[in-house]
Structure 1
Amino acid sequence: MTGRTETREGRNGPAVHEGSAARGSGAADGGGGPDFASASLPRHLLRGLVGFGAVAGGLVLLPVVGIASLLLVPAGLWALRGCPMCWLIGLAQTISRGRVQRACREDGVCSVSLRKSEVRSGS
């Protein structure tokens, strides 16, 4: 693994960097940022349960098992996709996936709105 970052042309013109630091281009939601969402809400909640459980277990078991219990902490952070905030961002992305739409005009101004099918008539 060389750690090299590749670039490709994005949909709206600017280059999108893909490398070890980027988890995805956010193509599913039309964005250019990292994508921390899971395929489904139950899967994401399970990922959080495993992640937070492993981090808490690693710290709680420290007096009982010793320093070896700290091996659970990196596993928990991996399940959370880096940090608790990354998991929360992924939760928001998982919930909003398919419900919001990002549209960018030619002048570079972007807006976020509900998809047409999500807008209720009469409201």
Structure 2
Amino acid sequence: MRGDEVTADSPSYASRSVSVHLVRGVIGFGSLVAAFALLGVLGWPSLLLLPVGVVALRGCPACWVLGLVQTVSRGRLERRCEEGGACRLERAVE
């Protein structure tokens, strides 16, 4: 299996490129921080930024970080599993 393939038991949170992923992070984290920072100024309407942040981060900040790692390592690492079920990451053979 190559690093950019997705199977049923290996979900991918990666983006097309690192820059796209970082932009999603800025939008996501910025929206989450702004929602609470503007709460005193705008009141409850500032909480409308929360769904924007959650969608940009694909559900949670940990999912975004996992996607960043997958995006950076795409094509460089691949998971190899043995018959016993033990898996490990190795450099991709080109």
Given the two structures, how large is their TM-score scaled by the length of structure 1? 0.67
Within the candidate set 83, 89, 93, 1:112 is matched to 89
Distance apart, 1:68 and its partner CA: 0.5
Distance apart, 1:30 and its partner CA: 6.2
Distance apart, 1:57 and its partner CA: 0.8
Query: Is 2:69 the partner of 1:92?
Result: yes
- SS, match of residue 116 in structure 1: coil
Identity %: 46
Higher relative contact order (Cα pairs below 8 Å, separated by 6+ residues): 2
Distance apart, 1:104 and its partner CA: 2.4
> What's 2:49 paired with?
72
Q: How does 1:18-29 map to 2 (within 5 A)?
A: 28=5
Structure having the higher helix fraction is 2
> What's 2:26 paired with?
49
Q: 1:87 to 1:35 in 2, by over 3 A?
A: same
Note the residue ranges of structure 2 that are not aligned, 5 or more in a row: none
Distance apart, 1:81 and its partner CA: 0.6
Note the residue ranges of structure 1 that are not aligned, 5 or more in a row: 1-10, 12-25, 118-123
Given the two structures, how large is their TM-score scaled by the length of structure 2? 0.85
Within the candidate set 20, 37, 49, 1:60 is matched to 37
Q: RMSD over aligned Cα, in angstroms?
A: 2.3
- SS, match of residue 16 in structure 2: coil
Q: Which runs of 4+ in 1 moved over 6 A?
A: none
* Bigger Rg over Cα: 1
Distance apart, 1:72 and its partner CA: 0.1
